[in-house]
Amino acid sequence: MSDAWNALATHADQLRSVSLASLIDDPNRCDRFVRQLGELHVDLTRHLATNETIDLLLSLAEERSVTAMRDAMFAGEPVNTTEHRPALHVALRNTSDRPILAEGHDVMPAVHAVLRKMRKFCNAIHDGTWTGASGRRIDTVVNIGIGGSDLGPVMATEALRPWWSSGIRARFVSNVDPSHLADTTSDLDPATTLFIIASKTFGTQETLANAHAARRWIVEALGDEAVSRHFVAVSTNAERVENFGIDPENMFEFWDWVGGRYSMWSAIGLSIAVAVGFDQFERMLEGAHEIDCHFRDAPPAENIPIVLGLLDCWYRDCWQCQSRAVLPYDQHLHRLPAYLQQLEMESNGKRTRLDGSPTTHGTAFVVWGEPGTNGQHSFHQMLHQGTTMVPCDFFIAAESCEPTEDGRYDMLVANCLAQAEALARGRDLAQIEGALRASGMDEADVAALAPHKVMPGNRPSTTMLYKRLDPATLGRLIALHEHRVFVQGVIWGIDSFDQWGVELGKHLANEILPSVTGATFGSGDATTQHLTARVHALRNELRAVARRCVG
Protein backbone atom coordinates (compact mmCIF):
# COMPACT_ATOMS: atom_id res chain seq x y z
CA MET A 1 0.00 0.00 0.00
CA SER A 2 1.27 3.45 -0.92
CA ASP A 3 1.58 6.41 1.46
CA ALA A 4 -1.61 7.96 0.10
CA TRP A 5 -3.61 4.76 0.58
CA ASN A 6 -2.19 4.24 4.09
CA ALA A 7 -3.14 7.78 5.07
CA LEU A 8 -6.67 7.22 3.73
CA ALA A 9 -7.07 3.93 5.57
CA THR A 10 -6.06 5.54 8.88
CA HIS A 11 -8.34 8.50 8.22
CA ALA A 12 -11.29 6.18 7.41
CA ASP A 13 -10.81 4.46 10.80
CA GLN A 14 -11.04 7.84 12.51
CA LEU A 15 -14.17 8.78 10.58
CA ARG A 16 -16.06 5.59 11.47
CA SER A 17 -17.18 7.08 14.77
CA VAL A 18 -18.22 10.44 13.27
CA SER A 19 -21.87 10.89 12.42
CA LEU A 20 -22.79 12.07 8.95
CA ALA A 21 -25.51 14.27 10.50
CA SER A 22 -22.86 16.20 12.43
CA LEU A 23 -20.86 16.73 9.21
CA ILE A 24 -23.93 17.92 7.30
CA ASP A 25 -24.81 20.41 10.04
CA ASP A 26 -21.50 22.26 9.60
CA PRO A 27 -22.59 25.65 8.18
CA ASN A 28 -19.52 25.79 5.93
CA ARG A 29 -20.15 22.35 4.46
CA CYS A 30 -21.53 23.66 1.16
CA ASP A 31 -18.35 25.58 0.30
CA ARG A 32 -16.45 22.45 -0.56
CA PHE A 33 -19.15 19.85 -0.99
CA VAL A 34 -21.55 21.54 -3.38
CA ARG A 35 -20.44 21.91 -6.99
CA GLN A 36 -22.09 23.81 -9.78
CA LEU A 37 -21.23 23.05 -13.36
CA GLY A 38 -23.36 25.16 -15.67
CA GLU A 39 -26.89 23.94 -15.04
CA LEU A 40 -25.76 20.84 -13.19
CA HIS A 41 -25.80 21.05 -9.41
CA VAL A 42 -23.86 18.27 -7.67
CA ASP A 43 -24.45 17.95 -3.95
CA LEU A 44 -21.75 15.99 -2.13
CA THR A 45 -22.65 17.17 1.36
CA ARG A 46 -24.03 13.75 2.30
CA HIS A 47 -20.73 11.98 2.00
CA LEU A 48 -18.74 10.43 4.83
CA ALA A 49 -15.98 12.86 4.06
CA THR A 50 -14.37 15.95 5.55
CA ASN A 51 -12.07 18.54 4.01
CA GLU A 52 -9.22 16.31 5.14
CA THR A 53 -10.75 13.36 3.27
CA ILE A 54 -10.90 15.36 0.05
CA ASP A 55 -7.30 16.52 0.54
CA LEU A 56 -6.12 12.94 1.09
CA LEU A 57 -8.06 11.73 -1.96
CA LEU A 58 -6.50 14.50 -4.04
CA SER A 59 -3.06 13.36 -2.85
CA LEU A 60 -3.99 9.87 -4.02
CA ALA A 61 -4.97 11.31 -7.41
CA GLU A 62 -1.62 13.03 -7.63
CA GLU A 63 0.24 9.88 -6.63
CA ARG A 64 -1.67 7.91 -9.30
CA SER A 65 -1.04 10.62 -11.97
CA VAL A 66 -4.73 11.09 -12.72
CA THR A 67 -4.24 14.38 -14.57
CA ALA A 68 -1.34 13.01 -16.64
CA MET A 69 -3.45 10.00 -17.64
CA ARG A 70 -6.38 12.29 -18.46
CA ASP A 71 -4.09 14.39 -20.64
CA ALA A 72 -2.81 11.24 -22.35
CA MET A 73 -6.40 10.24 -23.15
CA PHE A 74 -7.20 13.67 -24.64
CA ALA A 75 -3.92 13.57 -26.59
CA GLY A 76 -4.95 10.33 -28.30
CA GLU A 77 -2.25 8.21 -26.70
CA PRO A 78 -2.99 4.47 -26.60
CA VAL A 79 -4.44 4.47 -23.08
CA ASN A 80 -6.21 1.21 -23.94
CA THR A 81 -2.91 -0.55 -23.52
CA THR A 82 -3.97 -4.17 -23.95
CA GLU A 83 -5.53 -3.35 -27.32
CA HIS A 84 -2.94 -0.66 -28.20
CA ARG A 85 -5.66 1.89 -28.92
CA PRO A 86 -6.51 5.43 -27.95
CA ALA A 87 -9.89 6.05 -26.28
CA LEU A 88 -11.14 9.15 -28.01
CA HIS A 89 -14.87 9.36 -27.35
CA VAL A 90 -14.20 13.04 -26.51
CA ALA A 91 -13.50 13.61 -30.23
CA LEU A 92 -17.02 12.48 -31.12
CA ARG A 93 -18.51 15.47 -29.29
CA ASN A 94 -15.70 17.95 -29.85
CA THR A 95 -17.83 20.86 -30.95
CA SER A 96 -14.81 23.21 -30.82
CA ASP A 97 -12.36 23.86 -33.64
CA ARG A 98 -9.54 22.10 -31.82
CA PRO A 99 -8.02 19.21 -33.70
CA ILE A 100 -7.92 15.90 -31.82
CA LEU A 101 -5.12 13.57 -32.75
CA ALA A 102 -5.17 9.78 -32.70
CA GLU A 103 -1.53 8.75 -32.86
CA GLY A 104 -0.62 12.00 -34.61
CA HIS A 105 -3.54 12.08 -37.06
CA ASP A 106 -6.44 14.58 -36.72
CA VAL A 107 -9.64 12.54 -36.45
CA MET A 108 -12.00 15.52 -36.60
CA PRO A 109 -12.52 15.66 -40.40
CA ALA A 110 -13.68 12.03 -40.40
CA VAL A 111 -15.91 12.64 -37.35
CA HIS A 112 -17.52 15.64 -39.04
CA ALA A 113 -18.05 13.74 -42.31
CA VAL A 114 -19.99 11.00 -40.50
CA LEU A 115 -22.02 13.56 -38.55
CA ARG A 116 -22.95 15.24 -41.85
CA LYS A 117 -24.01 11.87 -43.29
CA MET A 118 -26.10 11.17 -40.18
CA ARG A 119 -27.81 14.56 -40.45
CA LYS A 120 -28.64 13.95 -44.11
CA PHE A 121 -30.06 10.52 -43.31
CA CYS A 122 -32.15 11.80 -40.36
CA ASN A 123 -33.55 14.61 -42.48
CA ALA A 124 -34.38 12.19 -45.29
CA ILE A 125 -36.28 9.93 -42.89
CA HIS A 126 -38.11 12.90 -41.37
CA ASP A 127 -39.03 14.64 -44.62
CA GLY A 128 -40.00 11.38 -46.28
CA THR A 129 -37.41 11.45 -49.05
CA TRP A 130 -36.05 8.16 -47.68
CA THR A 131 -38.96 5.79 -48.14
CA GLY A 132 -39.41 2.07 -47.82
CA ALA A 133 -39.28 -0.15 -50.92
CA SER A 134 -42.98 0.35 -51.59
CA GLY A 135 -42.64 4.13 -51.47
CA ARG A 136 -44.20 4.57 -48.01
CA ARG A 137 -42.63 6.76 -45.32
CA ILE A 138 -40.61 5.11 -42.58
CA ASP A 139 -42.39 5.44 -39.23
CA THR A 140 -40.25 3.11 -37.07
CA VAL A 141 -36.53 2.51 -36.77
CA VAL A 142 -35.49 -0.68 -35.00
CA ASN A 143 -31.92 -0.68 -33.71
CA ILE A 144 -30.46 -4.18 -33.56
CA GLY A 145 -27.33 -4.24 -31.41
CA ILE A 146 -26.15 -5.37 -27.98
CA GLY A 147 -24.02 -4.03 -25.12
CA GLY A 148 -22.58 -0.66 -26.08
CA SER A 149 -24.36 -0.87 -29.43
CA ASP A 150 -27.69 -0.97 -27.61
CA LEU A 151 -27.60 0.34 -24.04
CA GLY A 152 -26.53 3.92 -24.81
CA PRO A 153 -29.05 4.34 -27.63
CA VAL A 154 -31.92 2.80 -25.59
CA MET A 155 -31.07 4.77 -22.47
CA ALA A 156 -30.77 8.09 -24.35
CA THR A 157 -33.80 7.54 -26.57
CA GLU A 158 -35.93 6.76 -23.53
CA ALA A 159 -34.45 9.72 -21.64
CA LEU A 160 -35.39 12.05 -24.48
CA ARG A 161 -38.91 10.76 -25.13
CA PRO A 162 -40.45 14.23 -24.82
CA TRP A 163 -38.12 15.34 -27.62
CA TRP A 164 -39.12 12.65 -30.11
CA SER A 165 -39.99 13.99 -33.55
CA SER A 166 -43.57 13.35 -34.49
CA GLY A 167 -44.26 10.56 -36.94
CA ILE A 168 -41.22 8.47 -36.03
CA ARG A 169 -40.47 6.09 -33.18
CA ALA A 170 -37.43 4.06 -32.18
CA ARG A 171 -37.34 0.52 -30.88
CA PHE A 172 -34.51 -1.74 -29.80
CA VAL A 173 -33.71 -5.41 -30.10
CA SER A 174 -30.67 -6.81 -28.32
CA ASN A 175 -31.42 -10.26 -26.93
CA VAL A 176 -30.87 -13.30 -29.15
CA ASP A 177 -33.96 -14.76 -27.48
CA PRO A 178 -36.31 -14.83 -30.52
CA SER A 179 -39.05 -13.33 -28.36
CA HIS A 180 -37.29 -9.98 -28.33
CA LEU A 181 -37.44 -9.43 -32.09
CA ALA A 182 -40.87 -11.06 -32.35
CA ASP A 183 -42.37 -8.91 -29.58
CA THR A 184 -40.75 -5.76 -30.93
CA THR A 185 -41.99 -6.23 -34.50
CA SER A 186 -45.38 -7.80 -33.73
CA ASP A 187 -47.32 -4.57 -34.33
CA LEU A 188 -45.00 -3.16 -37.04
CA ASP A 189 -45.55 -2.93 -40.76
CA PRO A 190 -42.46 -4.09 -42.72
CA ALA A 191 -43.24 -1.48 -45.39
CA THR A 192 -42.66 1.39 -42.92
CA THR A 193 -39.91 -0.17 -40.76
CA LEU A 194 -36.19 0.46 -41.10
CA PHE A 195 -33.56 -1.59 -39.27
CA ILE A 196 -30.30 -0.10 -38.05
CA ILE A 197 -27.80 -2.92 -37.54
CA ALA A 198 -25.39 -1.51 -34.98
CA SER A 199 -22.23 -3.46 -34.27
CA LYS A 200 -18.72 -2.16 -33.90
CA THR A 201 -17.22 -5.45 -35.05
CA PHE A 202 -20.17 -6.67 -37.12
CA GLY A 203 -19.16 -10.05 -35.73
CA THR A 204 -21.31 -10.26 -32.62
CA GLN A 205 -23.27 -13.52 -32.72
CA GLU A 206 -26.49 -12.22 -31.17
CA THR A 207 -26.66 -9.11 -33.35
CA LEU A 208 -25.97 -10.97 -36.58
CA ALA A 209 -28.50 -13.69 -35.78
CA ASN A 210 -31.17 -11.05 -35.06
CA ALA A 211 -30.17 -9.07 -38.16
CA HIS A 212 -30.61 -12.17 -40.35
CA ALA A 213 -34.02 -12.83 -38.78
CA ALA A 214 -35.05 -9.21 -39.41
CA ARG A 215 -33.86 -9.55 -42.99
CA ARG A 216 -36.08 -12.63 -43.45
CA TRP A 217 -39.02 -10.66 -42.00
CA ILE A 218 -38.51 -7.87 -44.55
CA VAL A 219 -37.80 -10.19 -47.49
CA GLU A 220 -40.86 -12.37 -46.81
CA ALA A 221 -43.08 -9.29 -46.87
CA LEU A 222 -41.41 -7.14 -49.53
CA GLY A 223 -38.92 -9.26 -51.48
CA ASP A 224 -35.14 -9.33 -51.72
CA GLU A 225 -34.79 -6.00 -53.45
CA ALA A 226 -36.35 -4.26 -50.41
CA VAL A 227 -33.26 -4.86 -48.26
CA SER A 228 -31.42 -1.75 -49.44
CA ARG A 229 -34.34 0.51 -48.40
CA HIS A 230 -34.95 -1.16 -45.03
CA PHE A 231 -31.47 -1.77 -43.66
CA VAL A 232 -28.60 0.51 -42.76
CA ALA A 233 -25.54 -0.42 -40.73
CA VAL A 234 -23.29 1.25 -38.17
CA SER A 235 -19.90 -0.39 -37.88
CA THR A 236 -16.13 -0.15 -38.10
CA ASN A 237 -16.05 -3.12 -40.48
CA ALA A 238 -17.21 -2.24 -44.02
CA GLU A 239 -16.32 -5.65 -45.44
CA ARG A 240 -18.56 -7.59 -43.05
CA VAL A 241 -21.38 -5.07 -43.59
CA GLU A 242 -21.16 -5.65 -47.34
CA ASN A 243 -21.04 -9.42 -46.88
CA PHE A 244 -24.27 -9.18 -44.91
CA GLY A 245 -25.85 -7.52 -47.93
CA ILE A 246 -25.96 -3.88 -46.84
CA ASP A 247 -24.68 -1.39 -49.42
CA PRO A 248 -21.57 0.38 -47.98
CA GLU A 249 -23.33 3.61 -49.04
CA ASN A 250 -25.83 2.83 -46.30
CA MET A 251 -23.17 2.26 -43.69
CA PHE A 252 -22.25 4.83 -41.05
CA GLU A 253 -18.66 4.48 -40.03
CA PHE A 254 -16.94 4.74 -36.70
CA TRP A 255 -13.48 3.80 -35.55
CA ASP A 256 -11.63 1.36 -33.34
CA TRP A 257 -10.59 4.23 -31.04
CA VAL A 258 -14.24 4.39 -29.89
CA GLY A 259 -14.95 1.84 -27.16
CA GLY A 260 -18.33 0.09 -27.50
CA ARG A 261 -19.66 1.41 -24.18
CA TYR A 262 -18.43 4.93 -25.03
CA SER A 263 -19.99 4.98 -28.49
CA MET A 264 -23.46 6.55 -28.19
CA TRP A 265 -21.96 9.84 -29.44
CA SER A 266 -20.83 8.19 -32.68
CA ALA A 267 -22.98 6.80 -35.49
CA ILE A 268 -24.03 4.17 -32.93
CA GLY A 269 -26.31 6.98 -31.75
CA LEU A 270 -28.09 7.05 -35.13
CA SER A 271 -31.32 5.73 -33.60
CA ILE A 272 -31.21 8.55 -31.02
CA ALA A 273 -30.65 11.11 -33.80
CA VAL A 274 -33.53 9.74 -35.87
CA ALA A 275 -35.84 9.70 -32.85
CA VAL A 276 -35.14 13.25 -31.62
CA GLY A 277 -33.87 14.88 -34.81
CA PHE A 278 -30.28 15.70 -35.57
CA ASP A 279 -30.36 19.20 -34.01
CA GLN A 280 -31.26 17.72 -30.62
CA PHE A 281 -28.62 15.01 -31.03
CA GLU A 282 -26.14 17.86 -31.50
CA ARG A 283 -27.38 19.51 -28.28
CA MET A 284 -26.54 16.24 -26.51
CA LEU A 285 -23.02 16.33 -27.98
CA GLU A 286 -22.64 19.95 -26.85
CA GLY A 287 -23.63 19.07 -23.28
CA ALA A 288 -21.06 16.28 -23.23
CA HIS A 289 -18.41 18.61 -24.69
CA GLU A 290 -18.98 21.08 -21.83
CA ILE A 291 -18.09 18.33 -19.37
CA ASP A 292 -15.07 17.29 -21.45
CA CYS A 293 -13.73 20.86 -21.24
CA HIS A 294 -14.34 20.91 -17.49
CA PHE A 295 -12.65 17.53 -16.98
CA ARG A 296 -9.71 18.56 -19.17
CA ASP A 297 -9.19 22.06 -17.69
CA ALA A 298 -10.51 22.30 -14.12
CA PRO A 299 -7.97 21.85 -11.32
CA PRO A 300 -8.44 18.50 -9.51
CA ALA A 301 -10.01 20.02 -6.39
CA GLU A 302 -12.70 21.68 -8.55
CA ASN A 303 -12.99 18.85 -11.03
CA ILE A 304 -16.32 17.07 -10.52
CA PRO A 305 -15.52 13.79 -12.36
CA ILE A 306 -12.21 13.57 -10.50
CA VAL A 307 -13.83 14.15 -7.11
CA LEU A 308 -16.67 11.70 -7.86
CA GLY A 309 -14.24 9.01 -9.06
CA LEU A 310 -12.11 9.50 -5.95
CA LEU A 311 -15.11 9.22 -3.64
CA ASP A 312 -16.02 5.97 -5.40
CA CYS A 313 -12.58 4.56 -4.62
CA TRP A 314 -12.89 5.85 -1.04
CA TYR A 315 -16.06 3.81 -0.46
CA ARG A 316 -14.95 0.80 -2.44
CA ASP A 317 -11.56 0.47 -0.81
CA CYS A 318 -11.65 2.19 2.58
CA TRP A 319 -15.25 1.32 3.53
CA GLN A 320 -15.39 -2.00 1.62
CA CYS A 321 -18.66 -1.09 -0.10
CA GLN A 322 -19.49 -3.66 -2.74
CA SER A 323 -22.25 -1.91 -4.60
CA ARG A 324 -23.56 1.51 -5.55
CA ALA A 325 -27.21 2.28 -6.24
CA VAL A 326 -28.25 4.48 -9.17
CA LEU A 327 -31.60 6.05 -8.27
CA PRO A 328 -32.97 8.34 -10.95
CA TYR A 329 -36.06 10.17 -9.67
CA ASP A 330 -36.83 10.66 -13.32
CA GLN A 331 -38.92 8.09 -15.15
CA HIS A 332 -37.26 8.91 -18.45
CA LEU A 333 -33.94 7.77 -16.99
CA HIS A 334 -35.31 4.31 -16.30
CA ARG A 335 -32.55 2.65 -18.35
CA LEU A 336 -29.77 4.69 -16.75
CA PRO A 337 -28.94 1.99 -14.16
CA ALA A 338 -28.53 -0.61 -16.93
CA TYR A 339 -26.43 1.78 -18.98
CA LEU A 340 -24.15 2.64 -16.06
CA GLN A 341 -23.89 -1.04 -15.20
CA GLN A 342 -22.10 -1.71 -18.47
CA LEU A 343 -20.13 1.53 -18.39
CA GLU A 344 -18.75 0.85 -14.94
CA MET A 345 -18.68 -2.91 -14.58
CA GLU A 346 -17.33 -3.69 -18.06
CA SER A 347 -14.80 -0.86 -17.76
CA ASN A 348 -13.51 -1.50 -14.28
CA GLY A 349 -14.54 -5.02 -13.30
CA LYS A 350 -10.91 -6.13 -13.56
CA ARG A 351 -8.31 -7.80 -11.37
CA THR A 352 -5.11 -7.20 -13.31
CA ARG A 353 -3.16 -3.95 -13.43
CA LEU A 354 -1.64 -2.36 -16.50
CA ASP A 355 1.73 -3.95 -15.70
CA GLY A 356 0.16 -7.43 -15.47
CA SER A 357 0.30 -7.67 -11.67
CA PRO A 358 -2.83 -8.42 -9.62
CA THR A 359 -4.75 -5.46 -8.20
CA THR A 360 -4.27 -4.86 -4.50
CA HIS A 361 -7.63 -3.11 -4.12
CA GLY A 362 -11.25 -3.92 -4.78
CA THR A 363 -12.36 -2.61 -8.18
CA ALA A 364 -15.76 -1.82 -9.77
CA PHE A 365 -18.89 -1.61 -7.67
CA VAL A 366 -21.86 -3.74 -8.52
CA VAL A 367 -23.96 -0.95 -10.05
CA TRP A 368 -27.71 -1.37 -9.85
CA GLY A 369 -30.90 0.57 -9.38
CA GLU A 370 -34.39 1.53 -10.41
CA PRO A 371 -36.21 4.80 -10.82
CA GLY A 372 -37.65 6.41 -7.71
CA THR A 373 -40.19 6.21 -6.24
CA ASN A 374 -40.57 2.57 -7.39
CA GLY A 375 -37.39 1.49 -5.59
CA GLN A 376 -38.74 2.87 -2.31
CA HIS A 377 -41.43 0.21 -2.35
CA SER A 378 -38.95 -2.51 -3.12
CA PHE A 379 -35.27 -2.45 -2.14
CA HIS A 380 -34.91 0.81 -0.19
CA GLN A 381 -35.67 -1.17 2.98
CA MET A 382 -32.25 -2.76 2.59
CA LEU A 383 -30.60 0.59 1.81
CA HIS A 384 -31.96 2.02 5.09
CA GLN A 385 -31.65 -0.88 7.50
CA GLY A 386 -29.59 -3.61 5.82
CA THR A 387 -26.20 -4.64 7.14
CA THR A 388 -24.36 -3.39 4.04
CA MET A 389 -23.60 0.23 3.29
CA VAL A 390 -24.58 1.13 -0.28
CA PRO A 391 -23.63 4.62 -1.49
CA CYS A 392 -26.50 6.03 -3.55
CA ASP A 393 -26.69 8.46 -6.47
CA PHE A 394 -29.91 10.44 -6.72
CA PHE A 395 -30.88 12.21 -9.95
CA ILE A 396 -33.67 14.77 -9.97
CA ALA A 397 -34.87 17.57 -12.24
CA ALA A 398 -36.32 20.78 -10.77
CA GLU A 399 -39.10 20.64 -13.31
CA SER A 400 -40.94 17.79 -14.97
CA CYS A 401 -41.03 17.32 -18.72
CA GLU A 402 -44.72 16.58 -18.19
CA PRO A 403 -46.05 19.57 -16.22
CA THR A 404 -49.29 18.82 -14.35
CA GLU A 405 -51.36 20.84 -11.90
CA ASP A 406 -51.95 17.96 -9.51
CA GLY A 407 -48.72 18.08 -7.51
CA ARG A 408 -47.37 14.67 -8.51
CA TYR A 409 -44.02 16.09 -9.55
CA ASP A 410 -43.64 17.90 -6.22
CA MET A 411 -44.29 14.55 -4.54
CA LEU A 412 -41.49 13.02 -6.62
CA VAL A 413 -39.04 15.78 -5.64
CA ALA A 414 -40.00 15.58 -1.97
CA ASN A 415 -39.53 11.82 -1.96
CA CYS A 416 -36.10 12.11 -3.55
CA LEU A 417 -34.93 14.67 -0.99
CA ALA A 418 -36.47 12.69 1.85
CA GLN A 419 -34.73 9.45 0.91
CA ALA A 420 -31.30 11.06 0.87
CA GLU A 421 -31.98 12.73 4.21
CA ALA A 422 -33.33 9.54 5.80
CA LEU A 423 -30.31 7.57 4.62
CA ALA A 424 -27.92 10.14 6.05
CA ARG A 425 -29.55 10.93 9.37
CA GLY A 426 -31.57 7.86 10.26
CA ARG A 427 -33.42 7.68 13.61
CA ASP A 428 -31.83 6.45 16.84
CA LEU A 429 -33.43 4.30 19.53
CA ALA A 430 -34.23 7.20 21.84
CA GLN A 431 -36.02 9.10 19.07
CA ILE A 432 -38.04 6.03 18.12
CA GLU A 433 -38.98 5.21 21.72
CA GLY A 434 -40.02 8.82 22.30
CA ALA A 435 -42.26 8.79 19.22
CA LEU A 436 -43.85 5.48 20.18
CA ARG A 437 -44.54 6.61 23.75
CA ALA A 438 -46.00 9.86 22.40
CA SER A 439 -48.39 7.78 20.30
CA GLY A 440 -49.72 6.17 23.47
CA MET A 441 -48.04 2.77 23.15
CA ASP A 442 -47.42 0.88 26.40
CA GLU A 443 -43.87 0.29 27.60
CA ALA A 444 -43.74 -3.42 26.79
CA ASP A 445 -44.76 -2.79 23.19
CA VAL A 446 -42.34 0.14 22.91
CA ALA A 447 -39.47 -2.10 24.06
CA ALA A 448 -40.47 -4.84 21.62
CA LEU A 449 -40.97 -2.64 18.57
CA ALA A 450 -38.43 0.17 18.92
CA PRO A 451 -35.29 -1.81 17.95
CA HIS A 452 -36.94 -2.80 14.65
CA LYS A 453 -37.58 0.82 13.77
CA VAL A 454 -34.06 2.08 14.40
CA MET A 455 -32.51 3.59 11.26
CA PRO A 456 -28.72 3.66 11.59
CA GLY A 457 -28.25 6.57 9.17
CA ASN A 458 -24.68 7.45 8.13
CA ARG A 459 -25.42 6.19 4.63
CA PRO A 460 -23.82 8.36 1.99
CA SER A 461 -25.31 9.73 -1.22
CA THR A 462 -24.77 12.19 -4.04
CA THR A 463 -27.64 14.26 -5.39
CA MET A 464 -27.43 15.51 -8.97
CA LEU A 465 -29.97 18.23 -9.62
CA TYR A 466 -30.70 19.79 -13.00
CA LYS A 467 -33.34 22.07 -14.48
CA ARG A 468 -35.03 19.62 -16.79
CA LEU A 469 -33.89 16.48 -18.58
CA ASP A 470 -33.13 17.89 -22.02
CA PRO A 471 -30.56 16.65 -24.58
CA ALA A 472 -27.74 18.88 -23.29
CA THR A 473 -28.32 17.84 -19.69
CA LEU A 474 -28.32 14.19 -20.68
CA GLY A 475 -25.04 14.72 -22.53
CA ARG A 476 -23.57 16.35 -19.42
CA LEU A 477 -24.70 13.58 -17.08
CA ILE A 478 -23.37 10.77 -19.24
CA ALA A 479 -20.01 12.41 -20.02
CA LEU A 480 -19.60 13.09 -16.30
CA HIS A 481 -19.98 9.39 -15.61
CA GLU A 482 -17.62 8.34 -18.39
CA HIS A 483 -14.88 10.47 -16.88
CA ARG A 484 -15.74 9.39 -13.33
CA VAL A 485 -15.24 5.77 -14.41
CA PHE A 486 -11.96 6.71 -16.10
CA VAL A 487 -10.71 8.28 -12.85
CA GLN A 488 -11.61 5.13 -10.89
CA GLY A 489 -9.67 3.04 -13.41
CA VAL A 490 -6.58 5.24 -13.14
CA ILE A 491 -6.65 5.01 -9.34
CA TRP A 492 -6.92 1.24 -9.54
CA GLY A 493 -4.24 1.09 -12.25
CA ILE A 494 -6.33 -0.91 -14.69
CA ASP A 495 -7.24 -0.63 -18.38
CA SER A 496 -10.79 0.73 -18.36
CA PHE A 497 -11.19 0.29 -22.10
CA ASP A 498 -10.76 -3.45 -22.69
CA GLN A 499 -13.15 -6.30 -21.75
CA TRP A 500 -11.27 -9.59 -21.98
CA GLY A 501 -13.52 -11.15 -19.36
CA VAL A 502 -16.37 -11.51 -21.84
CA GLU A 503 -14.40 -13.68 -24.27
CA LEU A 504 -14.41 -17.11 -22.59
CA GLY A 505 -18.19 -17.27 -22.37
CA LYS A 506 -18.54 -16.39 -26.07
CA HIS A 507 -16.02 -19.07 -27.00
CA LEU A 508 -17.69 -21.75 -24.88
CA ALA A 509 -21.14 -20.88 -26.25
CA ASN A 510 -19.82 -21.59 -29.75
CA GLU A 511 -18.41 -24.92 -28.59
CA ILE A 512 -21.60 -25.95 -26.79
CA LEU A 513 -24.00 -24.80 -29.54
CA PRO A 514 -23.70 -27.99 -31.68
CA SER A 515 -24.72 -30.10 -28.67
CA VAL A 516 -27.73 -27.87 -28.09
CA THR A 517 -28.80 -28.08 -31.73
CA GLY A 518 -28.30 -31.86 -31.63
CA ALA A 519 -25.58 -31.89 -34.31
CA THR A 520 -23.09 -33.45 -31.86
CA PHE A 521 -23.08 -34.78 -28.31
CA GLY A 522 -20.94 -34.19 -25.30
CA SER A 523 -19.71 -30.59 -25.54
CA GLY A 524 -18.81 -28.88 -22.29
CA ASP A 525 -18.09 -30.26 -18.83
CA ALA A 526 -20.14 -32.89 -17.00
CA THR A 527 -22.68 -30.38 -15.67
CA THR A 528 -23.13 -28.75 -19.09
CA GLN A 529 -23.62 -32.19 -20.68
CA HIS A 530 -26.16 -33.15 -18.04
CA LEU A 531 -28.11 -29.88 -18.53
CA THR A 532 -27.95 -30.20 -22.33
CA ALA A 533 -29.35 -33.74 -22.10
CA ARG A 534 -32.14 -32.42 -19.90
CA VAL A 535 -32.95 -29.67 -22.47
CA HIS A 536 -33.33 -32.41 -25.12
CA ALA A 537 -35.47 -34.57 -22.83
CA LEU A 538 -37.80 -31.64 -22.07
CA ARG A 539 -38.02 -30.73 -25.75
CA ASN A 540 -38.94 -34.36 -26.56
CA GLU A 541 -41.67 -34.30 -23.92
CA LEU A 542 -43.10 -31.11 -25.44
CA ARG A 543 -43.01 -32.63 -28.94
CA ALA A 544 -44.73 -35.82 -27.72
CA VAL A 545 -47.53 -33.73 -26.17
CA ALA A 546 -47.85 -31.72 -29.40
CA ARG A 547 -48.07 -34.97 -31.44
CA ARG A 548 -50.75 -36.36 -29.12
CA CYS A 549 -52.75 -33.11 -29.49
CA VAL A 550 -52.54 -33.30 -33.29
CA GLY A 551 -53.43 -37.02 -33.24
List residues with catalytic annotation. Answer: 346, 377, 506
Indicate the residue type of 477.
L
Nearer residue to ligand F6P within complex by CB, 363 or 400: 363
Residues 345-384 that bind ligand F6P (CB under 6 A): 346
Determine the interface stretch with ligand F6P among 199-207, 357-365, 439-447, 527-535 (rule: CB under 6 A).
199-207
Smallest distance from ligand F6P to CB 174, Å: 9
Smallest distance from ligand F6P to CB 17, Å: 43
Nearer residue to ligand F6P within complex by CB, 168 or 232: 232
Q: Are 485 and 496 in contact (CB under 8 A)?
A: yes
Residues 63-92 that bind ligand F6P (CB under 6 A): none
Nearer residue to ligand F6P within complex by CB, 199 or 461: 199
Nearer residue to ligand F6P within complex by CB, 185 or 204: 204
Q: Which of 76, 86, 147, 471 touches ligand F6P by CB under 6 A?
A: 147
Determine the interface stretch with ligand F6P among 100-108, 141-149, 359-367, 415-423 (rule: CB under 6 A).
141-149
Non-local CB neighbours of 306 within 8 Å, separated by 6+ positions:
61, 66, 295, 300, 483, 487
Nearer residue to ligand F6P within complex by CB, 87 or 226: 87
Closest CA to 271 of 260, 261, 262, 281: 281
Helix (H, G, I), strand (E, B) or coil at 145: coil
Smallest distance from ligand F6P to CB 505, Å: 9
Paired residues of 455 in beta bridges: 427
Smallest distance from ligand F6P to CB 204, Å: 3
Site string for ligand F6P, 482-521 (x = CB under 6 A): -----------------x--x-------------------
Smallest distance from ligand F6P to CB 225, Å: 27
Smallest distance from ligand F6P to CB 198, Å: 7
Dist. CA 231–CA 213, nearest whole Å: 12
Q: Are 199 and 235 in contact (CB under 8 A)?
A: yes
Q: What are φ and ψ of residue 233, in 5° steps?
A: -130, 150
Helices (H) and strands (E) in the chain, counts: 24, 13
Q: Are 466 and 397 in contact (CB under 8 A)?
A: yes
DSSP, res 164: P
Paired residues of 401 in beta bridges: none
Smallest distance from ligand F6P to CB 223, Å: 28
Non-local CB neighbours of 361 within 8 Å, separated by 6+ positions:
5, 313, 316, 317, 492
Non-local CB neighbours of 391 within 8 Å, separated by 6+ positions:
311, 312, 315, 321, 324, 325, 459, 460, 461, 462
Determine the interface stretch with ligand F6P among 13-21, 201-209, 362-370, 440-448 (rule: CB under 6 A).
201-209
Interface with ligand F6P, residue 204, by CB under 6 A: yes
Helix (H, G, I), strand (E, B) or coil at 111: helix
DSSP, res 85: B
Smallest distance from ligand F6P to CB 466, Å: 27
Half-sphere exposure of 305 (CA within 13 A, CB side): 29
Interface with ligand F6P, residue 148, by CB under 6 A: yes
- Give first-to-last CA distance, the chain, whole Å: 73
Dist. CA 93–CA 108, nearest whole Å: 10
Q: Are 472 and 331 in contact (CB under 8 A)?
A: no
Nearer residue to ligand F6P within complex by CB, 34 or 502: 502
Nearer residue to ligand F6P within complex by CB, 258 or 480: 258
Determine the interface stretch with ligand F6P among 92-100, 147-155, 394-402, 473-481 (rule: CB under 6 A).
147-155
Nearer residue to ligand F6P within complex by CB, 199 or 376: 199
Determine the interface stretch with ligand F6P among 143-151, 296-304, 315-323, 484-492 (rule: CB under 6 A).
143-151
Indicate the residue type of 329.
Y
Q: Which helix (H) or strand (E) holds 462?
A: strand 461-466
Site string for ligand F6P, 260-299 (x = CB under 6 A): xx--------------------------------------
Smallest distance from ligand F6P to CB 486, Å: 16
Q: Which helix (H) or strand (E) holds 323?
A: strand 323-329
Q: Which of 201, 323, 523, 528 touches ligand F6P by CB under 6 A?
A: 201
Q: Are 33 and 43 in contact (CB under 8 A)?
A: yes
| Count of chain residues binding ligand F6P (CB under 6 A) | 14
Q: Are 251 and 215 in contact (CB under 8 A)?
A: no
How distant is the alpha carbon of residue 476 from its chain centre?
13
Q: Are 312 and 364 in contact (CB under 8 A)?
A: no
Q: Which of 70, 200, 229, 289 touches ligand F6P by CB under 6 A?
A: 200
Q: Which of 90, 125, 146, 333 touches ligand F6P by CB under 6 A?
A: 146
| Residues binding ligand F6P (CB under 6 A) | 146-149, 199-201, 204, 207, 260-261, 346, 499, 502
